[in-house]
Every structure is written in C-alpha cells, then in structure tokens.
Chains A and B, each alone.
Chain A
Amino acid sequence: MKLKQLESLLGNLQQFDNPKIELEQYPTGAHIASRMLYTAENSFGDVSNKVVADFGCGCGTLGLAATLLDAEHVIGLDVDDESLEIASINAEDLEVEMGLIQCEIKNLRWQGQIVDTVVMNPPFGTRKKGADMEFLSTALKVASQAVYSLHKTTTREHIKRAALRDYGASSAELRYDLPKQYKFHKKKDVDIAVDLWRFVPKPKHESSS
C-alpha cells in the first residue's frame, strides 16, 4: 500500500465525539499515523506478518494502520469504553480485524513474548504526570522487537535517559520521518511539538512480563 493511500484511508476514520480532557484524548492525525506505521514497515519490517499492540488506542488509528499494512494480529488497548466502541466501528468500516481490550496500561499483566511491536500515541502526561512514562515502561516490557511512540519534544532528554537506564531499552533513536516540528492541535492556537521515537527492547529471557 502506498503512503498516500494509507493516509487517505486513515483520514476517513471516525474520531472522538467528546474528547475526555483527563485522558488526554487527542486524535492521532492521519498524516502522522500513516508516516509512523509506514516507517515501521518499510524501514524496519516491524509490521507485516507481526503481532502489533496499540497502547491507548483511542479510536484505533495506529492499530488500524498496522492492519492495513498487513500485520497478522493487532490488539488495541484503552481504558475508555467509548473510544473502544469507535475503534470497533472503524475496524468494521475498513473491513479489518482488530482485537480490543479495555484495561489500564499500567496494570497490564502480559504472558510470554508474543507481541512483536508496540505502537502508541500515549498521553503526554500533561494532565496526569508520568502517564507517558508508564506507557513507555510497559511497552518496553511487552514488545520483543520494537516500540514506536510519540512524545513531547520538550521531554526528549528525559525520555531517552529513562528508556535506556530504567526501562530496558537497548536503543532509543529519533526518527525524522515527520516534519521537524510536528504540531498537535490541542486548542485553536496551542500546538505541541512532538518527536517520533523508535525504541528497541533488550532481549528478554523470562517467560512472563
């Protein structure tokens, strides 16, 4: 599938009717989502024929992008049932299969090493401090191959240090496949610059995480 085609399909997805501020529900735009997954697939082979989890999936944009790029099994996880409902409708509209689980990412207990890749647009931790780090820490435990994640540019050094020192990443690199200052439209005139990261977890030996 071409990038333009992926972006266009994602652009037609239904987004939040009433975003919940406390959950930092910003829709993941079709532009950023298509580039994130396209990079994951075409530069690293982290999507097709893989098991992919979308943490904090919201309306399912990233996970659905993974299904469109031929991931074999995709699971979207979110705490909010209204979001999961929309994600489920979006999957139906695209005629793809995406598994959904209602849970809190930080309380997730995962068995084995089945998930290859985690993709996520986590809460930035502006409402609940540390929410972004809880997502990242869990993602690095669950993924066996790679984690793709968006984080505020202002937290760049902190993210890198925590990933490498505390969360068991063997590498943390910035991907410049996005325009340098990608803007998240939060309010009419307030934008947030974000980075696209690719983290590689260290090989794991335990049977559970």
Chain B
Amino acid sequence: MATIQSRTLARFMLFPSVVLLLGWMIVPLCMTLYFSFLDYNLLMPGNEAFIGFLNYEFFLTDPAFIESFFNTLLLVGGVLTITIGGGIGLAILLDQAIWGRNYVRIMVLAPFFVMPTVSALVWKNMFMNPVNGLFAHLAAFFGTEPIDFFAHYPLLSIIVIVSWQWLPFAALLLLTAIQSLDREQLEAADLDGAGPISKFFYIVLPHLSRAITAVILIETIFLLSIFAEILVTTSGGPGYASTNITYLIYTQSLLQFDVGGGSAGGIIAVIIANIVAIFLMRLIGKNLEG
C-alpha cells in the first residue's frame, strides 16, 4: 500500500537512529579492538607499540582475572537464584485474593527505583555496619557477636544488596505472566484432585517458563556490568575478593592507565556478554514473529 514517496521518507526517518547507533557501537568497539593489540599506557604517551596478543595473554593469565571471573559468576548466579526464587514466591502470593494488593505492589516495587549508589550506601552503613548498623544492634539485642559483613563476606554482602534491587523486577514480571494463566486449567486440576504442589509443578511453573527465561537473560545483561555497588562499598576488596570483570577493567584502564590491558579485558567482556545475548535475542526474536 505504501507509496514510493512514503517508502523513501521511511528510510530517511530511520537514518538518524541507525547512524547514531552504528557510530556508538562500531567506532569505539573498533578502537578498543585496536588498543588491545598495543602496548599503550596513558602515563607514557607516544610509546605505543604493536605487541600482538600479549595483552590478552597477560589479562587471561592474571590471577586477578581468574578471581574476578568467578566472582562475576557468583554474583550473577547468586542474584539470579535469589531474585527468581523470591520472585516466583512473591508473584504467587500477590496473585492471591488479598486486601490492599495495590499498596503491597507499590512497596515491593519500590527498591527498583532507588539509584544504585543510594541503595549500596544505605545498606552498607545503616544496616551492615558492624558498630552502628541495624544488624549490629539486632545482634547485640540477641546477645550474639555482630558480623562485619564487608570485611568477612564482601561478595555475599554485594549479592544481598543487588538482589534487593532486582527482586522487584523479577516479581513484577512474573506476576504479569502469572496473571495471564488460564484459571479454568487450575479449576480442572482441582476437580481432578491435584494438590497445590503438583499444580505448581505441572501448571504454574511451565506457564512461567518463558517469563523466567526472560528474567534470567535480561538480569544477566545488567548484572554482568554491576559497577556502582562495588565502587561505593568495597572498591573491589579486600584484595580482589569482590572485584568483578567490569570493575577489574575499570581499575586497569582508569586507575592504572593501562589502555592496552584494559582494552583486551573489554573485548573479553564483550565476548562473554555476547554468549548471553545470543540466547536472549533468540527468545525475543521468536516473540516478534508471534
């Protein structure tokens, strides 16, 4: 139906978005790739030399990389487990007939809108501080030793904070999905004498599988790049105990000025994220056809 004129116009209207995104993605990425093959330190400008894959070799064999790689896995895996487990529970609970559901929803959703630096500092100081934090007061009340969370369990503490931020997203998305469940199916299961547990495993969980996949993939994209929460709480320490790959590359690039090494790390982070992205794109692509 579209006329040639409107087709030309349509191309023209796409142009700015495409050019900008192309420029934003391709140009810097090519620069990162180029830098990753150079011996390039910002403190010694003018001494750049081509060194092949040496930056990659150093980065991948650095014990700090191994440690931050596993920290990244633990961080992503831990937060996913907590938010999806808790999210399913909350979604089922909020789907029940309850009084004041809208207020409950508002309260559950709130942490998602709190900026990362605020939630990290509030948790670190007002809750997890071993002297003045609320958890320390609670421990004193029950007569037990207060725990110095960030000294002894730095990564776990960050997992708790990030989970608190992402639980609302998982819960809301899963609640939206659960509300589209066919009620007659559940009633039929009731008539057949199915208990709540078998109803959950044979009807609710399969119905949610698509939404759960979406939560896993979307959260993973964001969780791989956790940065602010680490910067304002532990700065990656003690040692590298709470450094993830994003934070490691940040310290290497902008604190040690090692452009070559940081770039090699950046390319590796892109490759890791791509593996996740491919699965997410498949899921969304399927939806686009339906």
A, B in one complex: no
Task: Show the binding face of A for B, using Cβ within 8 Å.
Answer: none
